[in-house]
Structures are given as structure tokens and as C-alpha cells.
Amino acid sequence: MLVLAIDTSTSAISVALRGDDVQESATVLDARGHTEHLAPLVRRCLDSAAREPGDVTDVVVGTGPGPFTGLRVGIVTGLVFAHARGIPVHGVCSLDALAVDAAAEVGDEELVVATDARRREVYWARYAAHGGRVRRLSDPAVDRPRELPEPLLGLPTAGRGPLLFPELFARPLPVHDVRASTLAELAVERLRAGVAMPVEPLYLRRPDALTTAERATP
């Protein structure tokens, strides 16, 4: 098995290649450069691992939530790569990968993942960590951090939310961006457990536009 994992739901453009004897990953931080950086990173990972595109057996993409434009770049890259090679593609909620990395930093307790949703909002979800593994307790959502229920703000928090709103999140964790390698591990685990992993982008917001009917109603 050789898994190509891609995440572009945050400012980090992250690619990983995971196989029995392969552990390649490459990341670039550039909030506006997903389109430019991603494909060269994929090629670089393949080259450094001395693998051909045809050696990849599975593709995994982070389905967000994340700023739409960057998120789509990763998802379409994963979908098309898998289609071109005739291999399966799996979707994993990007917040889950941050939660797994965060679990290594905390004991058995609840934690929050909060990422930059722009417009003074965060994408977030609540998790329970247990023995380094996590279980999601709430569906991913997008909100103003001030409007999150009080106890959540006091929980250990991963993602860039605490960097953007240091006055609100009391316990920031040093886990900021999604790592594609974690995404790959999660996908392999779920694959073995027979969990379905559809690739559905988590937009969580409607497009900003009114239909002509909506404009007519005051």
C-alpha cells in the first residue's frame, strides 16, 4: 500500500506519501499559494521516495472545513490524481487530523480544534482524547469564537484559532496546521475498520449571493 495524502484546508499546503518503507512529506506555508505549490510538492514527494505515480495505491484528501479556494485545490488535485491512476480516493475531515496531533499533547481530556475561517470566524469541532486517540463530539461548524459555549474556550485548543484570538482561547496547543501524514494514518485506520470516507468538501457556508427572488423580498 502506498498512500498519497493531501491537505490544503489551512495556510499549510501539506503532502505526504506513506507506505511500508516510505515516509515522505513536504509542506509549504502560503495562504494564497495553494495552486502554485501543491503539484510540485506531490512530484517532489514521489521523487524523493523514488516512486512513480503508478506506485500509489490510494489517495487521501482533507475535506476541510477551510477557506474555499485553497480547499478545492487540494480536493480536485486528489480526485483527479486518483481518477488518472484508476485508484480509490478517500476524504477525511481535516480537523480530525489536527485533533490527533493535539491528542499527543494532552492527557485523557476533551479538546477543541479551531482553525482560521477568515471574517473573524473559526471552523471548529470538539473532541475527546483517550490514549492518544480521538473521538469527535460535535459536527464541524463555523462561528465567531466569542459565540462558542464558555467551557469550550477553556479547553486545550489546536489550530490557528488561538493565535488569532489569544484573548479568547485560554489553553493554546502548539499544533497549528494540518499534517498530511496524520491524515494518511487516519485514513489507513478507517480503511481497515471499513469506514466509508466520501470526498465531500465541508464548506459550511453558502455562497455569498442573493437569488433574484431573495433580492425582490425586502
Partner 1 sequence: MTGDQPLVLGLETSCDETGVGIVRGEKLLVDAIASSVDEHARFGGVVPEVASRAHLEAMVPTLERATREAGVRLADIDAVAVTSGPGLAGALMVGVAAAKSLAVALGVPLYGVNHLASHVAVDIVEHGPLPEPTVAMLVSGGHSSLLLVPDVTHDVRSLGSTIDDAAGEAFDKVARVLGLPFPGGPYIDRAAREGSRVAIDFPRGLTQGRDLERHRFDFSFSGLKTAVARWVHAREAAGEPVPVSDVAASFQEAVTDVLTRKAVLACRENGVENLQIGGGVAANSRLRALAQERCDAAGIALRVPRPGLCTDNGAMVAALGAQMLLKGRPASDLALPADSSMPVTQVQA
Q: Is the bond preceding 166 in cis, omega lying within 30 degrees of 0? A: no
Residue 79 binds partner 1 (CB under 8 A): yes
Stretch that binds partner 1, among 128-136, 142-150, 162-170, 207-215 (CB under 8 A): 207-215
- Hey, is 28 helix, strand or coil? strand
Q: Dihedral of the CA atoms 136, 138, 140, 143 (nearest 10)?
A: -140
In the complex with partner 1, which residue's Cβ is closer, 196 or 209? 209
Identify the residue among 174, 194, 207, 218 touching partner 1 (CB under 8 A).
207
Q: Which stretch binds partner 1 (CB under 8 A): 68-76, 98-106, 140-148, 169-177?
A: 68-76
90 interacts with partner 1 by CB under 8 A: no
Closest to partner 1 by CB, 72 or 190: 72
Contacts 24+ apart (CB under 8 A), 125-131: 125/93, 125/95, 125/99, 126/152, 126/155, 127/99, 127/102, 127/103, 129/99, 129/102, 129/103
Rg (CA), the chain: 18
Per-residue x/- track, 95-134, partner 1 (CB under 8 A): ----------------------------------------
Complex with partner 1: residue 83 or 130, whichever CB lies closer: 83
Between CA 80 and CA 90 the distance in angstroms is 12
Smallest distance from partner 1 to CB 142, Å: 15
User: CA 172, CA 195: separation in Å to the nearest integer?
Assistant: 31
- 8 A C-beta contact, residue 178 and residue 12: yes
The site for partner 1 (CB under 8 A) is made up of 34-40, 42-43, 46, 52-53, 68-69, 72-81, 83-85, 201, 203, 207-213, 215
